Structure 1
Amino acid sequence: MNLQYLKAFYVTVKANSISKAAKLLHLTQPGLSMQIQSLEKELQVNLLNRSNKGVELTEAGRVVFDYANTILSLQENIERDLENLKTDKKYLHIGSCKIVGEYALPCSIYIYKHDNKDVDINVEISNSSQVVENLLDRTVNIGIIQGNVDNKKIVTEKIASDRILLVTSLPLMKTNITTDELRKLPIIFREEGSETRKAVINFLNQYDMDIDDLNIIYELNSMEAIKSSVLAGKGVSFIPELTIKKELKDGALTKIDIEGNSIACSYYIAYRKDHELSVYEKDFISFIKSSKRGFC
């Protein structure tokens, strides 16, 4: 399969326009159309339906598009890794869940870089499920996730324990509530795919409750946005303790126990089983598992 033609098809779908994709790829529109037609001829399928509204994937096109993202990512990763070998460059591309990536990892990287100035580090922050996807499609070689993952292709090692706390900034009559009282509270919740969300749902299931039993006023995909909302008195939320240590200590936030319980969670370092870790990748994993890591 011609990867140049595959990229032409992929960019066209993302841009939803032959003309826009042609500009992005620095091609003429006829030249771009010819590349897509050549790919269709090679695969012996029709990939796109073209109209005045843009382009629409055929059933075969959807299959090829799903694979194109992985194939093109692999190509970029191969080129990146080979270039690093040529220059003898030490490069760590880490995927991290938002909790660790935004609140704990910056201090760890600062400490690690102090003794490893020759290692370039890039951190891509997303939710844990996306980190796992990035590991599997080889966009990153090392990931940090909240919660474990049941995947035979992924190795995980626990690096830290935490608690997910229900917190508020408003004056409280009670710091220990029942599940019936929980149903009435205005809750700001994490987005679909978040491990914090999954952990809370699993906790609710112990009391024969689910997400529909909660009074969720809105959902956000940023823990910082959720924390700001709670501090502003907009509602209460389930927030990992790692991200609110200062606010709890200062009294800006107060935790609320549910039936006398809090929700346990853990963070894991993750990597592909088939990936041969470099010396400096092994060194970073050992560092992040140790007490030297200095989470913020």
Structure 2
Amino acid sequence: MDLHSLKIFQTVARLGSISKAARELQYAQSNITMKIQQLESDLQTTLFYRHNRGTVLTTKGSLLLSYTEKIFDLIEETKHVMMDEQTPKGSLMIGSMETTAAVRLPVLFSKYHRHFPEVDLTLKTGSTEQSIQGILQYELDGAFVSGPIHHPDLIEKEVFEEELVIITDNVHPSIASIKDIQTRTLLVFHKGCAYRERFEQWLHIEKMIPYKIMEFGTIDGIIGCVAAGLGISMLPSSVVENHVQAGTVKQHSLPNSYGKVKTMFIYRKENYLPIALLKFIEMLSE
């Protein structure tokens, strides 16, 4: 078993086809087949089920794939360690919830860029669940998520505490209890949003079924439709503060058990962290 064979195995597993792997790697299909057979012989196990449409990993094949990905991740990490210098440079991919990106990150990102202009800093917004998966799959270096997370492979650091509020159009009467909103449409982000989950959890505990749910992909879309009277939403007060002051929407307090939520910065639990990420984490602590 060598790295070359593992790379071929990984490619076949990813594409689900020996012929597709041969085209991508620019090898003869017979060579790919021979390498897979040799690997199966060395390991004394079957790695793929073959069928007319391609290949499917066996249980042992899936296990080998997980180890193969760890091996190649470790090789990449070793390269970064050898090349890393004290001056941060290269790429840094940060994930974030849409709300945090809109309100909390512009000043932080601007400061980081001024201090470390050679770092190619990129922001990718998504739900908490998407960011967690992005870090575990090495697509993100770190992310701002709603916490706590308590994942064995991740380190989490509390960075903000947000106050959640209900927002309505500016002519909506005060909300004394959850029954005052039971006939209103909920305007929320897509599944996986921590604030949406908190909203739905509150309704579930109060034994209320939402009248109607409409999903949006942006903060501006939600706030604009709330202001127009289409429905109500639950968002951090920091996100809607300017809109409340401008009189376009009205905010209503939540019970303490639902009104506070922590924003965490998470990253992989590894022995080595790139200097660009270390400096970013240090800046969060300032």
Same fold (TM over 0.5): yes
How many Å separate the matches in 1 of 2:156 and 2:243?
A: 31
Structure 1 residue 38: Cα displacement: 3.0
For residues 76-132 of structure 1, the C-alpha deviation after alignment (integer angstroms, 9 at most, x for no partner) is: 3433443335x9653463533223345532432122222333444344444334444
For residues 172-220 of structure 1, the C-alpha deviation after alignment (integer angstroms, 9 at most, x for no partner) is: 4324153234343222334444332343345446x4447xx22453445
State the aligned residue count.
285
Instruction: Note closer, same or farther for the CA distance 1:178–1:48 as it changes in structure 2 (3 Å cut).
Output: same
SS at match of 2:260: strand
Instruction: Note closer, same or farther for the CA distance 1:137–1:244 as it changes in structure 2 (3 Å cut).
Output: same
Q: Verify: 1:178 aligned to 2:177, yes or no.
A: yes
How many Å separate the matches in 2 of 1:67 and 1:183?
A: 50
The answer as to whether partners of 1:177 and 1:259 remain within 8 angstroms in 2 is: no
Q: Verify: 1:22 aligned to 2:22, yes or no.
A: yes
Amino acid at match of 1:98: M
Partner of 1:78: 78
Instruction: Note closer, same or farther for the CA distance 1:160–1:256 as it changes in structure 2 (3 Å cut).
Output: same
SS at match of 1:176: coil
For residues 47-74 of structure 1, the C-alpha deviation after alignment (integer angstroms, 9 at most, x for no partner) is: 2223233332323333334444444444
Which residues in structure 2 correspond to 1:126-275 (within 5 Å)? 126-135=126-135, 142-151=142-151, 154-168=154-168, 170=169, 172-176=171-175, 178-204=177-203, 207-209=205-207, 213-219=209-215, 226=222, 230=226, 235-257=231-253, 263-272=259-268, 274-275=270-271
The answer as to whether partners of 2:92 and 2:276 remain within 8 angstroms in 1 is: no
How many Å separate the matches in 2 of 1:73 and 1:229?
A: 44
Amino acid at match of 1:107: V
How many Å separate the matches in 2 of 1:71 and 1:190?
A: 37
The answer as to whether partners of 2:11 and 2:21 remain within 8 angstroms in 1 is: yes
How many Å separate the matches in 2 of 1:121 and 1:21?
A: 33
Q: Which runs of 5+ in 1 are unaligned?
A: 291-296
Instruction: Note closer, same or farther for the CA distance 1:146–1:121 as it changes in structure 2 (3 Å cut).
Output: same
The answer as to whether partners of 1:177 and 1:257 remain within 8 angstroms in 2 is: no
RMSD (Å) for aligned C-alpha atoms: 3.8
Amino acid at match of 2:150: D
Partner of 2:115: 115
Structure 1 residue 257: Cα displacement: 4.4
Instruction: Note closer, same or farther for the CA distance 1:79–1:260 as it changes in structure 2 (3 Å cut).
Output: closer
For residues 224-262 of structure 1, the C-alpha deviation after alignment (integer angstroms, 9 at most, x for no partner) is: 665566567654332333444443343343334457996
Amino acid at match of 1:199: R
Partner of 1:294: none
SS at match of 1:200: helix
How many Å separate the matches in 2 of 1:102 and 1:191?
A: 17
Instruction: Note closer, same or farther for the CA distance 1:262–1:160 as it changes in structure 2 (3 Å cut).
Output: same
TM-score (norm 1): 0.73
Structure 1 residue 160: Cα displacement: 1.7
Amino acid at match of 1:95: I
How many Å separate the matches in 2 of 1:228 and 1:67?
A: 48
Amino acid at match of 1:178: S
The answer as to whether partners of 1:97 and 1:146 remain within 8 angstroms in 2 is: no
TM-score (norm 2): 0.75
Identical pairs, percent? 21
Q: Which runs of 5+ in 2 are unaligned?
A: none
Partner of 1:98: 97
The answer as to whether partners of 1:188 and 1:226 remain within 8 angstroms in 2 is: yes
